[in-house]
A = this chain, B = another copy of it.
């Protein structure tokens, strides 16, 4: 039986926690004197930085930064291997002069964590994107030599101007050359105006449930349209949250490209690779979509050999400590089970076999 592997699971290692605790603007970690019972809070999105203590960020505890908590969580949920990554917002906000050093410290921290749990933990590295392409390429090369590193995690802003920015080319090139997978993860969401005047009535639902996956969808579509996968045909990207909504919208995007008179007139569509081809040869999707209709669309779009289980731990914990399985984890695992019915081999592939093969684990 293939091991169960979690490819979408985050940690804030000590080097990063120190940075967050020293900050006063989003992203930051602190307790609030007006409400000490709310405990230490982690505020990572501007939309979470609200006035009431129950809405402000989220309670943060050892599950965010202590490696033993990750292992306990894995044991409780029968997860054999986790590929841990720094959670958003990574170092996107970091001063240019400090980002390279911070990335090295974080990656070394995480490497040490993995070494202490050899065989159970691997990692996606953090890049100093705010320091520019040269520093990023240097860290990509350094990561290649780390024993437990299996790729990198990046946000949708790239070097600041998105993934269709030509300044990203040396980075794509280095990732393709060193065969390191890119885990693309959202953070920025959408402008608050799209949620209307009553958004605060809905807690964090709109930015988390919609802002995140829609951001990912836009980012990867911009990358595709700009020709990233035409120029770097061996680049491999794992998309968070089952691709945002890319599996659902791929047909519409293809149709809009095919029917765009301006693109055709400008000769921009000749020889391009279709989104379906890219989905089946460059893109991997996690299985973090919380229901069968989305998961089946993901599997159908990119193939059952390209979809990999994840939990998004330590986010989406139970609201009360219920002492057993996290509902968020169970929901995703059950969706995988239901999607495959009696095809146990396919279920095992998505639950871990694909990750073992793609990321060379164990």
Residues of A bordering B, CB below 8 Å: 52, 54-55, 58, 161-162, 164-165, 190-191, 193-199, 201-206, 208-210, 213-215, 217-218, 221-222, 225-226, 241-242, 245, 247-266, 268, 289-294, 296-298, 300-301, 316-319, 327-328, 331, 335
- Beyond A248-B289, A297-B296, whether A259 also contacts B319 by CB under 8 A is yes
Chain B proximity of A287: nearest CB distance (Å): 11
Contact B54 A327 (CB under 8 A): no
Asked if B198 and A164 make an inter-chain contact with CB atoms under 8 angstroms apart, the answer reads yes
Instruction: Describe A's contact surface by its main secondary structure.
Output: helix
Pairwise interchain contact A289-B195, C-beta atoms closer than 8 A: no
User: Do B252 and A209 touch across chains, with their CB atoms under 8 A apart?
Assistant: yes
Q: Which residue of B lies closest to A163 (CB)?
A: B196
Question: Contact at B291–A254, with CB atoms within 8 Å?
Answer: yes
| Contact partners of A55 in chain B: CB under 8 A | 262
The quantity of this chain's copies bound in the complex is 2
Closest B residue to A214 by CB, please name it: B214
A315 nearest CB neighbor, chain B only? B259
Complex alpha-carbon distance, A195 and B215, angstroms: 10
Residues in B whose Cβ lies below 8 Å from that of A164: 196, 198
Contacts of A300 in B (CB 8 A): 292-293, 296
| Given A222-B196, A300-B296: A256 and B204 interface contact (C-beta under 8 Å) | yes
Question: A163 to nearest B CB, angstroms?
Answer: 9
Q: Which chain B residue lies CB-closest to A189?
A: B194
Q: In the complex, what residue of chain B is closest to A59 when comparing beta carbons?
A: B261
Cβ 8 A contact of A249, one of B191, B199, B201, B245: B245
A–B Cβ pairs within 8 angstroms, 18 of them: A54-B261, A55-B262, A201-B226, A202-B225, A202-B263, A205-B225, A209-B249, A210-B249, A214-B218, A245-B248, A250-B293, A251-B335, A255-B290, A255-B331, A259-B328, A261-B319, A293-B300, A296-B297
Question: Do A248 and B251 have beta carbons less than 8 Å apart?
Answer: no
Residues of the B chain whose Cβ atoms lie less than 8 Å from the Cβ of A248:
242, 245, 247-248, 289, 293-294, 297
Most buried by B among A162, A226, A263, A293: A293
CA distance A300 to B298 in the complex (A): 13
Residues of B within 8 A of A256 (CB): 204-205, 208-209, 316
**Residue of B at shortest CB range from A241?**
B252
Contacts of A221 in B (CB 8 A): 205-206, 209-210
Instruction: Give the CA-CA distance A251 to B298 in the complex, in Å.
Output: 13
Q: Collect the chain B residues with CB atoms within 8 Å of residue A257's CB.
A: 203, 205, 209
Interface residue from B165, B206, B222 paired with A218 (Cβ < 8 Å): B206
Complex CA distance for A248 and B335, rounded to whole angstroms: 13
Check B297–A262 contact: CB distance below 8 A.
no
Q: What are the residues of chain B within 8 A of A215 when measuring CB–CB?
A: 194
Q: Are B218 and A217 closer than 8 Å at their CB atoms?
A: no
Chain B residue at smallest Cβ distance from A245: B245
Chain B hits for A218, CB < 8 A: 194-195, 206, 210, 214
Smallest distance from the beta carbon of A330 to chain B beta carbons, Å? 11
In whole angstroms, what is the CA distance A222 to B161 when docked?
Answer: 29
Q: Find the residue from A249, A260, A294 having the highest chain B CB count within 10 A.
A: A249
